[in-house]
């Protein structure tokens, strides 16, 4: 089996398949270089979405890309992570290692090997790994009575930035969709991840290994796509238009991180395509800069289309900023019936009376 898979036995029931990928590897449209595994090259917009709370400046200096194949997709104590793939950088090359469990009674040795890869400080990079791969591995470590190295690692789950930037643009945010749209990578003769359990159980129960090569290839492609997505997602968070990302969603991320100027620039540049909610956010950023003419232009445009938020904003503006009470009342009365509308109108009428 080891010979047919190009693997090295590292313990009874555990195989290691290692590939040195060289200094330049094309994956779809993206050229992968060893530097892609350097933490310093990850854009702050992505590191900010990592699991750990401290400042992005304190993130580990290296990345470790991880993907598992499992005996089932439900998780829990009855699910085995039988293949763990890891991609790391080294001088002048990327190194891809795949640890394959070929015997159930070898799990302890298998986890020893995987745990050794995870013991050094790193930012773990996965796709949906926070919800699936990491909890599953943690469960397997605990069931085997071994320390869990995952709890000490930063964890950047790329599903989060993909959903943030493309969740309202694409039909779905699966890894295959992301690699197709952002990397131009199309899988040929791929064995889907959902077929991996049957392939492994075929070996465990009947000694059938024909499908395991497809599982290894699928896992390898997953890891390469993770590495390729890092720079492309960084570009999407700096210039959403270059990859068709959701400008409003990306701007909201920068806003939440305190980069109001960058959020404003993004929304201004794409204002013709913003939804009403996006335009209201743009007006709010103008308001924070005392650009009242720009605010009112947006509010008036949306109010003419019946926007309740815009009518309310105009009523507040003319009451508190311009002190034009008749006009403020006019906008307040245009609001749909509600307790807030009645309260505002009554207050304005009292002010007008005296």
Question: Are 309 and 302 a contacting pair, CB within 8 Å?
Answer: yes
Question: Is 211 domain-assigned?
Answer: yes
Looking at residue 101, its pLDDT comes to 97
Looking at residue 177, its pLDDT comes to 97
> Which residues of the chain form beta strands (DSSP E)?
8-11, 14-20, 25-27, 30-32, 63-70, 81-90, 93-101, 123-126, 154-157
Looking at residue 77, its pLDDT comes to 78
Looking at residue 54, its pLDDT comes to 46
Please identify, among 214, 238, 262, the residue that sits at the C-terminal boundary of a domain. 238
Looking at residue 42, its pLDDT comes to 85
Question: Are 156 and 50 a contacting pair, CB within 8 Å?
Answer: yes
pLDDT beneath 70: ranges in the chain = 51-58, 75
d(CA 40, CA 35): 9
d(CA 124, CA 206): 35
Looking at residue 52, its pLDDT comes to 59
Written as one string, the DSSP assignment of 286-316 is: HHHTT-HHHHHHHHHHHHTTT-HHHHHHHHH
Q: What pLDDT, in 10s, does the model give residues 75-123? A: 677 899 999 999 999 989 999 999 999 999 999 999 999 999 999 889 9
Looking at residue 51, its pLDDT comes to 63
Question: Is 132 domain-assigned?
Answer: yes
Residues in contact with 153: Cβ distance below 8 Å, sequence separation at least 6, in sequence order: 60, 64, 118, 121, 122, 123, 124
- The pTM of this model reads 0.90
Residue 12 phi, psi (nearest 5): -55, 120
Number of domains in the chain: 2
Looking at residue 57, its pLDDT comes to 57
Smallest Cα–Cα separation from 158: which of 20, 261, 36? 36
Task: List the domain range (segments joined by +) for residue 46.
Answer: 2-238
Residues 173 and 37 in one domain: yes
Residues 204 and 307 in one domain: no
């Amino acid at each position: 089996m080891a010979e047919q898979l190009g693997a090295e036995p590292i313990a009874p029931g555990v195989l290691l398949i290692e590939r040195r990928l060289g200094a330049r590897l094309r994956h779809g449209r993206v050229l992968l270089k060893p530097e892609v595994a350097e933490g310093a090259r990850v854009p702050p917009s992505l590191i900010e979405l990592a699991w750990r709370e401290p400042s992005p400046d304190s993130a580990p200096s290296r990345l470790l890309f991880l993907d598992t194949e499992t005996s089932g997709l439900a998780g829990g104590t009855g699910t085995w992570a039988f293949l763990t793939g890891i991609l790391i950088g080294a001088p002048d090359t990327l190194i891809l290692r795949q640890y394959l469990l070929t015997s159930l009674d070898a799990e302890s040795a298998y986890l020893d090997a995987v745990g050794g890869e995870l013991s050094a400080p790193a930012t773990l990079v996965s796709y949906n790994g926070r919800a699936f791969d990491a909890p599953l591995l943690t469960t397997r470590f605990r069931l085997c009575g071994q320390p869990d190295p995952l709890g000490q690692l930063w964890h950047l789950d790329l599903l989060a930035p993909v959903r943030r930037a493309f969740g309202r643009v694409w039909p779905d945010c699966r890894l295959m969709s992301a690699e197709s749209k952002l990397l131009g990578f199309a899988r040929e003769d791929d064995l889907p991840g959902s077929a991996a359990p049957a392939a492994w159980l075929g070996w465990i129960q009947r000694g059938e290994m024909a499908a395991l090569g497809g599982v290894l290839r699928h896992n390898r492609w997953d890891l390469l796509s993770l590495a390729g997505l890092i720079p492309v997602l960084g570009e999407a968070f700096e210039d959403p238009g270059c990859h068709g990302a959701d400008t409003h969603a990306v701007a909201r991320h920068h806003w939440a991180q305190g980069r109001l100027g960058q959020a404003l620039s993004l929304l201004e540049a794409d204002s013709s395509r913003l939804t009403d909610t996006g335009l209201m956010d743009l007006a709010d950023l103008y308001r924070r800069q005392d650009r009242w003419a720009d605010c009112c232009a947006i509010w008036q445009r949306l109010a003419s289309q019946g926007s309740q938020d815009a009518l309310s904003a105009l009523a507040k503006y003319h009451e508190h900023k311009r002190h034009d009470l008749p006009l403020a009342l006019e906008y307040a009365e245009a609001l749909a019936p509600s307790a807030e509308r009645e309260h505002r109108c009554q207050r304005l009428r009292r002010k007008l009376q005296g």
